[in-house]
């Protein structure tokens, strides 16, 4: 499993993050799915290939949704994360959803009738499955948006071939108004990508971060900027409730301090090399010994000193 996958799954393991992504993406920010109604589901499922062998597939995020007030019941909410366009995504999601519905069918039970002694099947109520594809790529996700974008369906067959559409959340192409519909840490991430995609200088919000460690590790992977994860490793101070302004201040000050230390170390090396070259020119030290003191080959030292 790659670093990106681990970071995204770790961040989205929190129920409040998943609820926020769904509420902001599907319900205009209304708290239709509550964090306390979500329960971790098994992300793994198996299917049988043509040769009879069993294969395993895994969702990125899978949770059962059971509202305590019975106002909403979903068999499963799932999230698939992408940073590159996958043209088979409709087939993948359709497979995930199909297996989830199959799992619901498996909940049916055989019971014995007390009067007749005969077995009868008690049908378990079926509930919907919703899967979101959360996309952070640099290029807009224009296709595929549905099954028809993946397979070649002649017009005469379209009335008989059911289409299957994806729920794509193209994060960098969200509007500022859409970003505001998210309420938690995902809003901070979405806002970062939307601002960066606009070409303007990033202005960090003062919104407090709830899951600082998980969110910044994800930011580090998605932006390919290791400063966030490096800072987390080296700074053990309490970070919950910090905002992006404070994070950037600490990250940048750490970067300046490291740059200063590197500069000082480089200056010392140059000073030692200059001294060794001077001693060789005065015939007070051999090239061999000078190169050894400098930690380099004789050929490299000669080039450095201008003797080659």
Q: Say what the pLDDT of residue 236 is.
A: 59
Residue pair 115/151 in contact by the 8 Å Cβ criterion: no
Q: Say what the pLDDT of residue 156 is.
A: 95
User: Does residue 46 surpass a pLDDT of 80?
Assistant: no
Going by DSSP bridges, is the β-strand pair 61-66/38-40 parallel, antiparallel, or unpaired?
antiparallel
The per-residue DSSP string of 66-114 comes to E-TTSS-EEEEEEEEEESS--TTHHHHHHHHHHHHHHHHHTT-EEEE-T
d(CA 135, CA 269): 46
Domain ranges of the chain: 3-242, 265-305
Q: Say what the pLDDT of residue 264 is.
A: 46
Q: Say what the pLDDT of residue 59 is.
A: 81
d(CA 45, CA 126): 19
Q: Edge-to-edge, what's the strand order for the sheet holding 61-66?
A: 38-40, 61-66, 73-82, 129-135, 168-170
Q: Say what the pLDDT of residue 266 is.
A: 54
User: Does residue 228 surpass a pLDDT of 80?
Assistant: no
Give the CA distances from residue 144 to residues 82, 86, 90, 171, 261, in Å, rounded to whole numbers and listed in that order: 13, 8, 7, 16, 49
User: Does residue 262 surpass a pLDDT of 70?
Assistant: no
Strand partners, 64: 39
Say which residue, 259 or 220, is predicted with more confidence. Answer: 220
Q: How far is CA 18 from the centre of its chain?
A: 13
Strands (DSSP E) along the chain, which ranges? 38-40, 44-48, 54-58, 61-66, 73-82, 109-112, 119-122, 129-135, 168-170
Q: Say what the pLDDT of residue 163 is.
A: 94
Q: For 244-253, how does the pLDDT look when each residue is reduced to its tens digit (9 = 90+)?
A: 888 777 766 5
Q: pLDDT category, 43, cuts 50, 70, 90? A: low
Q: For 64-83, how does the pLDDT look when each residue is reduced to its tens digit (9 = 90+)?
A: 888 766 556 677 788 888 88
Give the CA distances from residue 25 to residues 92, 183, 191, 270, in Å, rounded to whole numbers and listed in that order: 21, 11, 14, 56
Q: Say what the pLDDT of residue 268 is.
A: 58
**Summary mean pLDDT of the chain:** 81
Find, among 231, 226, 258, the residue nearest to 247 by Cα: 231
Q: pLDDT category, 10, cuts 50, 70, 90? A: confident
25 burial type by CB count under 10 A (0-12 exposed, 13-18 middle, 19+ buried): buried
Q: pLDDT category, 146, cuts 50, 70, 90? A: very high
Q: pLDDT category, 126, cuts 50, 70, 90? A: confident
Bond from prior residue into 78 cis (ω within 30 degrees of 0): no
Q: pLDDT category, 22, cuts 50, 70, 90? A: very high
Residues 6 or more apart in contact with residue 113 via CB below 8 angstroms = 119, 120
Highest mean pLDDT among 101-105, 145-149, 230-234: 145-149
């Amino acid at each position: 499993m790659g670093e990106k996958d681990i970071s995204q799954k770790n961040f989205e393991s929190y129920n409040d993050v998943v609820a926020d992504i769904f509420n902001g993406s599907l319900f205009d920010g209304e708290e239709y799915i509550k964090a306390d109604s979500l329960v971790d589901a098994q992300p793994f499922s198996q299917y049988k290939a043509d040769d009879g062998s069993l294969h395993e597939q895994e969702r990125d995020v899978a949770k059962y949704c059971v509202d305590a007030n019975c106002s909403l019941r979903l068999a499963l909410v799932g999230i698939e994360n992408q940073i590159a366009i996958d043209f088979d995504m409709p087939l993948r999601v359709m497979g995930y959803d199909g297996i989830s519905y199959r799992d619901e069918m498996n909940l049916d039970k055989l019971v014995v009738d007390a009067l007749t002694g005969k077995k009868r099947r008690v049908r378990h109520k079926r509930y919907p499955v919703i899967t979101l594809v959360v996309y952070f790529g640099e290029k807009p996700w224009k296709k595929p948006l549905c099954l028809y974008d993946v397979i070649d369906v002649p017009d005469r067959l379209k009335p008989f071939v059911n289409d299957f559409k994806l729920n794509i959340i193209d994060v960098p192409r969200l509007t500022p108004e859409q970003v505001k519909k998210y309420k938690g840490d995902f809003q901070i991430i979405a806002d970062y990508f939307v601002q960066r995609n606009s070409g303007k200088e990033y202005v960090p919000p003062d919104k407090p971060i709830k899951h600082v460690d998980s969110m910044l590790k994800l930011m580090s992977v998605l932006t390919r900027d290791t400063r966030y994860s490096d800072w987390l490793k080296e700074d053990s101070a309490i970070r919950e409730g910090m905002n992006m302004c404070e994070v950037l201040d600490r990250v940048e000050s750490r970067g300046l301090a490291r740059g200063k230390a590197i500069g000082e170390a480089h200056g010392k090396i140059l000073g030692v090399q200059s001294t060794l070259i001077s001693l060789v020119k005065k015939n007070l030290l051999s090239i061999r010994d000078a190169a050894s003191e400098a930690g380099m080959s004789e050929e490299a030292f000669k080039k450095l000193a201008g003797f080659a």
